[in-house]
Structure formats: C-alpha cells, structure tokens
C-alpha cells in the first residue's frame, strides 16, 4: 500500500470538510488517477486566522492506494504530495531471563505507556505512584480547595496520570517521531475523541483524560500487571546479580528492571538519587506567571466578527519573543479554562492551567514564562541539580508569603505590573484559582526575581503588538508558574539505562527526556522497547 498526504488544502471555515477531499480528487483526476483507485481521509485540520475577515481552515488529506506504478508515484510527488512512511510498533523480545517483575515508578504518561507496552507483551509489570487513583485525586483536590490543607502525596502533581491529568490535556509535540501516531491512536482506543488524530493542535481536556487514564491502568491490570497507589519510592540499590532492590512506603520490591518515570515534581526522590550517586545534571527551565483574559476577548481579538463560530473551535495563541536579554514565551494556553493550584510541597504556591474538553469557561489563561539559565542556580550541598530545584522552591515560597498563607494566590493586574505599582483590585477579569475565592492582591516583584519581572514586562509589551489588548490593564497575573519542565536530567546511555547502572531506566519529563504528554508517552514506549529487547517476558 502507498500513502501520500496533500497538505495546505485551504477552504473557507464555513465550507463542508468533504470539500477538501473533493479538491484533492480534482488534483488526482488532472494526472489521470480516479478517486475509485484510492481512499481519501482528512488527517489534520488547523485554523488560519491571519486575516480576520477571511478566516480559513487548512486541511491535510491522506490518500491511500493499493497499487501504484512508479510513474504514478512520480506524478503524485510533482503535485506536492509527500509520501508517508509508516512505522509499526515492532517490539523485539530479548533472551535474558527476567527473574523478577519489572517495576515502573510513576503513573504519568511516560510510566503508563511504558507499563502498557510491557503488559501487552507479557512482562506483568508492577506500576507504583506516591499519589492516588484518579477518583481519589479529584477528591483530594476538592478538599484542598475547600479546606486549604494540602495533601503532599496526592495533588495536581502526584497520582494516576501525573500532572497532565489536571491540565488542558494538550497533545501537541515538537518531536518528529512516528511513535506519536501510536500514542494518539492508543489514547483514542482508551476513550479519547477520534478528532485528536486529525487536529493540528489536539487536546483531550482534563475531564476526558481522567477516563482515559483509568481505562489504561485497568487494561494493564487485566493483562497481569499490578497497579499500586500511595506507594512512594524511598531508596533504590542495584545488587551484584543485576537485580534492583527498592524501598517504598509500602514495603520492598525486587525487580529485574526499574523504570524511573518520576515526573518533574518528585523533589525528595531526586535528592535521594543525587545522594545515591546517580549522574544527574541541572538543565535550563522557565518561570513566570499565568495571565488571564476574558475568553470572549481572546476570541474577538483572534477571530474578529467570526468569534464564537463553532467550526473555528476555541481561540488559541502561542507567542514568543527572543530578541531581549531573555526569551519570553507563552506556554500551555488553556482556552476557556482555569488557573489551578498545583502545589506539592507545604508552604509553596504554584499555578498551572487546566481546561475541560468543551473549553467553555469564562476566562482563557496561559503561562507567560521567562528563560532561566543553569548559571542562575547556586549549588546546594555540592549539587547544582539540587540548586535548580531550590531555585524553583524559593519562588514558590515567596508566592506563598505574598499570598498571605493558606495557599492563596498572589495576583496583580497587568496595568499595575507594567507600571510598577500595586494595589488595584481585579475589575473585569477575575481570578479562577481555587474557584476564585482564595487570592490576595500583591506585587510580582515580591514573588519573582527582578530579571524575570523585567523580561515579563518586555514580553507582554511585545505580545500586545501581536494581539492588541493582550497587555491591557484589566488582564490578570497569578504567580508563580515554576513547573514548566524538569530542572534536571538523569543521564542515560543510548541503551536507555542510567549511566553506570545495569537495570535502571530514567524515563519521561521528570528525568529530562520529554516536554509534555505526547513526548513523555513516546519516551515511555522507547524505554519499554529497550527493556523488551533485553529480556524475555516474565514467567
């Protein structure tokens, strides 16, 4: 079978999607190929709103042929179509005996997909997480919002699905790996909407993602795997025979292979690894704030008179400016979403964004983040990696103090921030953090380093030129956004094993090898395939 993709099929947003298929059929007829000889399907859709009076939908159309001559292939290529090379998930099985079941530490996308591949190939993995199941995490978050008492083991960062469970569920990734298609198709298999395999900027939404996570973990158990919650890794040691001993809050485990898919917030566990002489290095991160606007304002700014048209979907933006001393960019934009309380340590305030699948909330929000360099860190106990963690932690503690305690979020209008004043109460844009009733007007100067504030002002002014009104006075800032990515990397070799370790596999975003749901899941797949290529399935 031969497959080609025709990109850039542009149509008015009001047109029927089938018109995109007919446009490609006409191109094929022009070179003597009938649509009866092939199958056509839309494989991607995006919005082109550069001209608000003439908004287009841009389609990519996949054409599949059972038989094509060499000359026909040449003619199709001359039309500008690109050939599709598919890669099946070819899990090769090794010969080494597995005397103990593999242990996967962490139930974020990396850990789940790693455990899923292992389970589907007969390895009967044990997967643990320090947090709760999805349902119990939701209950813990509700208690946190109501009582302002943080559960440091079950929260937005820890538990089934990882931090992505309470997010917009974005699946866009910059990595170019055929395994991305496998990840999206697997998410659909376990309950995500089919449209995520088509949209240029796919998202699942926190409500749908919770069901998907439950279904994947249930499937792992059905295949002989074991899922254990409230099970925190406290120590890890390789034995001379190659087996790995792990201590946890629920007892000790012996494993032939251990996958460290810890997530970016397992700070105490990373300290344990540093003290255990794992080869860990700091890496650059970004920190900043969440900015909130009325969703109606963003839609009108981007779509003009067509704001609210269902065919266009929720209005999204992605802005950046690298011309200043520091790069500034928006990150994890949540249309119609809310700012969530993402703390995992007592005495710290952390913000993130979350949307439901419908994206129909009153506000839209996004992180506005500033680049932080490794040289901005100071070593802690001789470790620059621990210094990177302390850099984040110090900001979170300042945010807690600026909010007045009780995990109230410090907020500041953009007008006050840009003019270096404070004290204005929210007017037309109101905070969504913790239901909108746990905030304190403060100054971001008391939360963030001065170089971050200076760069944020520069960035907001720049973004206002791209979206008029982006830096308008009523827009609201909430601090602090510190968990955009992991501040460290556990070094590993091409065999996916930690440097100097025989049977320990760092994995995913927390280990420094991914930057979102899809790329973390892909890394989990790669690690599972590396383990499978070494071992026979567990008997």
Residue 98 three-state SS = coil
Residue range 235-259, pLDDT digits in tens:
999 999 989 999 999 999 999 999 9
Closest residue by Cα to residue 531 from 495, 491, 478, 492: 495
Q: Does residue 456 surpass a pLDDT of 90? A: yes
Of residues 468 and 88, the one with the higher pLDDT is: 468
Residue 199 pLDDT greater than 80, yes or no: no
| pLDDT at position 457 | 98
Where in 324-372 does DSSP place strands (E)?
328-334, 338-341, 351-354, 363-372
Banded model confidence at residue 374, pLDDT cuts 50, 70, 90:
very high
Return d(Cα 293, Cα 431) in angstroms, integer.
10
Confidence of residue 448 (pLDDT cuts 50, 70, 90): very high
Distances (CA, A) of 129 to 208, 259, 405: 21, 12, 29
pLDDT band at 1; cut points 50, 70, 90: confident
Distance separating alpha carbons of residues 167 and 143, to the nearest angstrom = 18
Least confident of 133-142, 176-185, 282-291: 176-185
* 2-83 CATH: 3.30.70.2700
- The answer to whether the CB of 63 falls within 8 A of the CB of 38 is yes
Q: Which CATH superfamily is domain 103-282+489-534 in?
A: FAD/NAD(P)-binding domain (3.50.50.60)
The mean pLDDT of the chain is 94
Relative to beta strand 338-341, strand 258-260 is unpaired
Is the backbone of residue 333 left (phi > 0), alpha (psi -120 to 50) or beta? beta
Q: Residue 174: its pLDDT value, please? A: 66
Query: Average pLDDT of 293-310?
Result: 95
Q: How many degrees, rounded to 5, is the angle at CA 227 between CA 225 and CA 233?
A: 115
Same fold, 2-83 and 103-282+489-534: no
Token code pair at residue 255: 């494993």
Mean per-residue pLDDT, 23-48:
90
* Lookup: tokens for 74: 């040449």
pLDDT tens-digit map of 487-519: 999 999 999 999 999 999 999 999 999 988 999
Residue spans of beta strands (DSSP E) within 443-485: 476-481
Q: Where are the domains of the chain?
A: 2-83, 103-282+489-534, 285-481
Return phi, psi of residue 498, to 5°: -55, 140
Tokens of 63: 């054409």
Distance of CA 168 to the CA centre of its chain: 9
Q: What is the pLDDT of residue 30?
A: 93
Which has the closest alpha carbon to 368: 204, 485, 479? 479
Neighbours of 97 (CB within 10 A): 10
Q: How does pLDDT run across 75-127, given as a tens digit for each residue?
A: 999 999 998 876 678 899 999 999 999 999 999 999 999 999 999 999 999 99
For position 21, what pLDDT does the model report?
Answer: 95
pLDDT at 169: 67
Contact 61, 21 (CB under 8 A): yes
pLDDT at 523 > cutoff 90: yes
Q: How would residue 175 be classed by pLDDT, with cut points 50, 70 and 90?
A: low
On the question of pLDDT at 320 being above 90, the answer is: yes
Note the pLDDT of residue 167: 81
Amino acid 204: pLDDT? 84
């Amino acid at each position: 079978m031969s497959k080609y993709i025709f990109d850039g099929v542009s149509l008015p947003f009001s047109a029927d999607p089938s018109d995109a298929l007919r446009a490609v059929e006409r191109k094929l007829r022009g070179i003597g190929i009938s649509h009866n000889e092939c199958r056509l399907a839309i494989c991607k859709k995006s919005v082109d709103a550069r001209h608000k009076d003439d908004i287009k939908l841009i389609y990519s159309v996949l054409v599949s042929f059972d038989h094509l001559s060499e000359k026909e292939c040449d003619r199709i290529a001359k039309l500008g179509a690109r050939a599709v090379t598919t890669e099946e998930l070819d899990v090769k099985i090794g010969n080494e005996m597995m005397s103990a079941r593999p242990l996967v530490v962490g139930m974020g996308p990396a850990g789940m997909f790693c455990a899923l591949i292992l389970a589907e190939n007969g390895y009967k993995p044990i997967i643990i997480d320090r947090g709760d199941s999805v349902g119990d995490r939701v209950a813990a978050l509700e208690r946190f919002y109501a009582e302002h008492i943080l559960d440091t083991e079950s929260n937005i960062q820890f538990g089934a699905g990882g931090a992505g469970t309470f997010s917009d569920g974005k699946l866009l990734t910059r990595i170019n790996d055929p395994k991305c298609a496998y990840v999206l198709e697997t998410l659909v298999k376990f309950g995500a909407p089919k449209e995520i395999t088509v949209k240029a900027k796919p998202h699942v939404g926190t409500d749908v993602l919770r069901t998907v996570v439950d279904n994947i973990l249930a499937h792992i158990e059905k295949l002989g795997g074991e899922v254990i919650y409230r099970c925190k890794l406290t120590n890890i040691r390789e034995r001379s025979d190659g087996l790995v001993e792990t201590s946890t809050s629920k007892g000790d485990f012996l494993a032939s292979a251990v996958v460290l898919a810890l997530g970016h917030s397992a700070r105490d566990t990373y300290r344990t690894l540093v003290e255990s002489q794992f080869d860990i290095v700091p890496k650059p991160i970004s920190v900043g704030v969440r900015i909130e606007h009325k969703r109606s304002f963003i839609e009108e700014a981007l779509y003009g008179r067509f704001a609210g048209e269902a065919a266009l979907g929720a209005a999204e933006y992605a802005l950046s400016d690298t011309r200043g001393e520091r790069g500034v960019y928006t990150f994890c934009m949540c249309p119609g979403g809310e700012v969530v309380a993402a703390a995992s340590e007592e005495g710290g305030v952390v913000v993130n964004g979350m949307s439901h699948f419908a994206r129909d909330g009153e506000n839209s929000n996004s992180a506005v983040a500033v680049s932080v360099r490794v040289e901005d860190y100071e070593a802690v106990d001789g470790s620059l990696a621990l210094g990177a963690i302390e850099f984040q932690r110090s900001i979170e503690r300042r945010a807690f103090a600026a909010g007045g305690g009780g995990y109230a979020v410090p907020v500041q209008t953009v007008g006050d921030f840009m003019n270096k004043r404070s004290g204005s109460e929210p007017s037309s844009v109101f905070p969504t953090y913790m239901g909108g009733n746990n905030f304190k007007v403060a100054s971001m100067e008391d939360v963030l380093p001065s170089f971050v504030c200076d760069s944020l002002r520069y960035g907001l002014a720049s973004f206002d030129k791209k979206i008029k009104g982006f830096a308008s006075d009523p827009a609201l800032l909430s601090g602090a956004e510190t968990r955009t990515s992991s501040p460290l990397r556990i070094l590993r070799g091409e065999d996916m094993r930690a440097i100097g370790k025989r049977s320990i596999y760092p994995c995913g975003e927390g280990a420094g090898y991914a930057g979102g749901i899809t790329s973390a899941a892909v890394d989990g797949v790669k690690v599972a395939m590396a383990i499978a290529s070494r071992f026979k399935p567990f008997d």
